[in-house]
Every structure is written in structure tokens, then in C-alpha cells.
Amino acid sequence: MIQDLYDTFKKNPPLDTIRTLRLKLIGAIVLVILLGVVVDSATKKENMTRERALNALHGNASSEYNVVVSTLYRELNVDKYVILAETRLDEIDLPLNHRNCRATISGAILSRTQEEWTIDSREVNITEVGNLCRASAGQLVQIGPDKYAFSLNDYDILVGGIFERYVLIASIEGSLREILTTEVSASNEGYCGVNIAPDCFQYTSQVTFEPNSDNPSSPLYDLHVSSTGTRLVDERAVPFSETTVYRFNNWTGVFEER
């Protein structure tokens, strides 16, 4: 910049030099202002937080909810943010038999455009999960080459055992909904020897997503649930090991067992 001004001074009369200096000064000021606007705009676009997302989901009532999933991700070259929440219940609000009380899950997905964050999908009653009126923390999972979903673990504590289910939530055709629920573990530890469970059993599972074996170019992977352990057969604990495969059905909009 200094060298340019010096060269201008050498080549132009003093009046032209002053005029040129004024124009360059005005140009520099405008450039600084524009850069400030761009930086401020970029900061606003990137500054999506859990609080802002929860407010987009529930507005002024956001303080009445607990967040179970909240994360930034990128899908189809678009920055997105997911928020899943459960209704917050104080001890005084818990039902007397709250052991079987379920948590209602609500959620929203926001996308970042050039100007601002906008809501892609919003549902206030997606599903009910959890135990003791609480849901477990969830996580982001990749269910396709460029598709994501959100998993929760759902527990039932019943007379006779503890049972865990894997719950999958995703945005399908603009609707945020449950697309899979399947049992992944069970145990009757602490209940063995009673009439309904003479033998002790226990099994666990591993959940993985793998490319569709019949159509590798499918936008959604197959879901594999590999289970090992023991389970009751005619009231006797029997060892087993098996893998169940679920595939997304475009007609029903959910994962179904093959």
C-alpha cells in the first residue's frame, strides 16, 4: 500500500494525488466495514448452541426439558444440528409408580443456509423411552454413506429381569421419527430361582451398520444385531449366538427384519 501511494505521488500532480488518496482511504474504510460484516455473519452462522437449538424446539418452555442428544454434523454437504430432549420432571411431579414411567422424546433438526439456521423438521412427540421417567443419553450414528440417525437405549425393569432395546430415530422425508426398535440385551440376574425364571440367563448384542449386500449403492446401510449369551427355552437357559439383519423399507419408512 505504501509503495503504491509513493508511486502515485511521483506520477500525478499534487491535486490528483490528494484526490487519489481520498478515494483509496474511502475504499479502505469500506473494505474494513465489509470484512467486519462478513466475519460477524460467519460467527452468527456457526454459533449454534444447545441452548439455541432447544429454544428453537420448545421456545420459552425450553427450561422444562432435559437434552439427550445435541450435536453438529454434516449431511449431503449441509451443516446440520440435532436436538433431542425429554420432559423434565421434578420429584414432586413423578407418578407413584414411576418405575414404569416413560420419557417422551421430542426433537428438531436445523440446517445452516447462507444467511441463518432454519428448522428442517420438528416433532414434539417422537416416541417414549426410558425408565423412572428418564431417558438415557443418545448418540449420533451413521446409517448410510451420507445419512445419519440418532440412537437411544431403552430399558425395562420388570419382574423377571432387565431388558434393553436399541431405538433409532432419523429424519425421513422431512419427518423426524422412530425407524427401529429392537431388543439387544436381557438378564434375569436377581430373579433367578423364582417360578417365572428357574434358570439364570443373560445375553448382550453388538449393533453395526454395513453396506446393503444386495445393493451396495443403497443410500442406507443394513443394520446387524449380533447377540451372544443364554436365553430361556422352555424355562431352561440355553446358549446361543446369532445375527439378525434389518433393512430399511422405503414403503413403510422403517427398518425391518429380513
Return the domain boundaries, the chain.
2-44, 48-257
Q: What is the mean pLDDT of the chain?
A: 80
Predicted confidence band at 162 (pLDDT cuts at 50, 70, 90)?
confident
Does 122 score more than 90 pLDDT? yes
More reliable by pLDDT, 1 or 42: 1
Predicted confidence band at 236 (pLDDT cuts at 50, 70, 90)?
confident
Rg over alpha carbons for the chain, rounded to the nearest Å, is 28
Q: State the virtual CA torsion across 120, 124, 130, 134 in degrees, nearest 10.
A: 110
Q: Rounded distance, CA 220 to CA 209, Å?
A: 9
Closest among 167, 112, 113, 161 to 135, alpha carbons compared: 167
Identify the pLDDT of residue 123. 95
Identify the pLDDT of residue 98. 53
More reliable by pLDDT, 115 or 197: 115
Identify the pLDDT of residue 11. 52
Q: What is the DSSP string of 34-101?
A: HHHHHHHHHHHHH---HHHHHHHHHGGGGGGEEEEEEEEEEETTEEEEEEEEEE---GGGS-TTGGGP
Lowest mean pLDDT among 13-17, 97-101, 192-196, 232-236: 13-17
Secondary structure class of 31 (helix, strand, coil): helix
Does 41 score more than 70 pLDDT? no
Q: What percent of the chain has pLDDT over 70?
A: 75
Kindly give the pairing relationship between strand 236-249 and strand 222-233: antiparallel
Output phi, psi for 116, to 5 deg: -165, 175
Range 129-145 average pLDDT: 86
Identify the pLDDT of residue 22. 53
Sign of torsion over alpha carbons 87, 91, 96, 99: positive
The grid coordinates listed for 134 are 428418564
Predicted confidence band at 249 (pLDDT cuts at 50, 70, 90)?
very high
Select the highest-mean-pLDDT range: 97-106, 132-141, 152-161, 171-180.
171-180
The grid coordinates listed for 141 are 450414528
Identify the pLDDT of residue 197. 59
Predicted confidence band at 68 (pLDDT cuts at 50, 70, 90)?
very high
Does 58 score more than 50 pLDDT? yes
Identify the pLDDT of residue 45. 47
Closest among 248, 241, 174 to 212, alpha carbons compared: 248
The grid coordinates listed for 167 are 431405538
- What residue spans of the chain are helical by DSSP H? 2-11, 14-46, 50-58
The grid coordinates listed for 51 are 441452548
